[in-house]
């Protein structure tokens, strides 16, 4: 039995991991899918004070209060920054670190440093409308979510706290000291950023890399394949 902690990306919530959690539980594992502050069922906590450190602490505190050890920590998309920060604070509890079509930041980088310019332009109108508080969700169709789930995903996604995108992350090498690291690329989501991470890391012997033929929300489009990979890297 392994223990998985699954961290969602921007605009989403713990709800997006339901299919994966159910499958992991059916196979005898434990799975936790926290919702980060200001999102999902915690969207009422959205404020200007919610930053990247808040989201890192959301996960760190889950591990501490649940007494979790030897975990497989998975971060999707934006949560690549979150799990990198968690590794700095409490890396000793992490057995395996998994980046699911996710950003792999370097010290001092923010989310805004990592996203393509087109994303920033898409956010601008909603960002102005919120007075700089939050970034409106990107439609599920843009992420290549399967057609059957698009309306549901669009209804579930909420504005994301903007400060988490502007806060730089502080890293001092804890991520690299974790022996088991994996990168999973969603092959049907054409992101030059994630493709570049995949190409770079597949030549690094300290990482394992995988491709899944799905849209960006792999946990929704290909839960069975994702669970099989997570068991491999646990």
| Catalytic residue (one of 77, 96, 134, 191) | 77
CB 226 within 8 A of CB 27: no
Please give the distance of CA 195 from its chain centroid, rounded to a whole number.
Answer: 16
> Given CA atoms 157, 215, 190, 102 in this order, what sign does their dihedral have?
positive
> Given CA atoms 21, 22, 25, 27 in this order, what sign does their dihedral have?
negative
Per the annotation, the verdict on 191 as an active-site residue is no
Residue with tokens 């998985």: 4
Q: Is 56 helix (H, G, I), strand (E, B) or coil?
A: helix
Beta strands in 65-162 (DSSP E): 71-76, 94-100, 134-135, 160-161
CA distance 75 to 10: 11
Largest CA distance in the chain: 47
Residues annotated as part of the active site:
77
């Amino acid at each position: 039995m392994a223990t998985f902690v699954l961290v969602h990306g921007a605009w989403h919530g713990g709800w997006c991991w339901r299919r994966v959690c159910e499958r992991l539980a059916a196979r005898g594992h434990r799975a936790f899918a926290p919702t980060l502050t200001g999102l999902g069922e915690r969207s009422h906590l959205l404020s200007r004070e919610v930053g990247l450190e808040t989201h890192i602490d959301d996960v760190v505190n889950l591990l501490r209060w649940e007494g979790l050890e030897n975990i497989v920590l998975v971060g999707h998309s934006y949560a690549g920054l979150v799990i990198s920060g968690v590794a700095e604070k409490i890396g000793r509890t992490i057995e395996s670190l998994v980046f699911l079509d996710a950003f792999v930041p370097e010290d001092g980088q923010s989310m805004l440093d990592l996203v393509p310019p087109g994303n920033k332009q898409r956010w601008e109108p909603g960002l102005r409308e919120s007075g700089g508080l939050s970034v409106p969700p990107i439609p599920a169709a843009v992420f290549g979510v399967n057609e059957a789930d698009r309306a549901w995903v669009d209804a579930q996604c909420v504005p994301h706290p903007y400060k988490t995108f502007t806060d730089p992350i502080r890293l001092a090498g804890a991520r690299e000291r974790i022996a088991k690291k994996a990168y999973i690329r969603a092959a049907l989501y054409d992101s030059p950023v994630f493709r570049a991470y995949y190409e770079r890391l597949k030549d690094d012997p300290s990482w394992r890399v995988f491709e899944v033929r799905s849209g960006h929300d792999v946990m929704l489009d290909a839960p069975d394949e994702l669970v099989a990979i997570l068991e491999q890297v646990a």
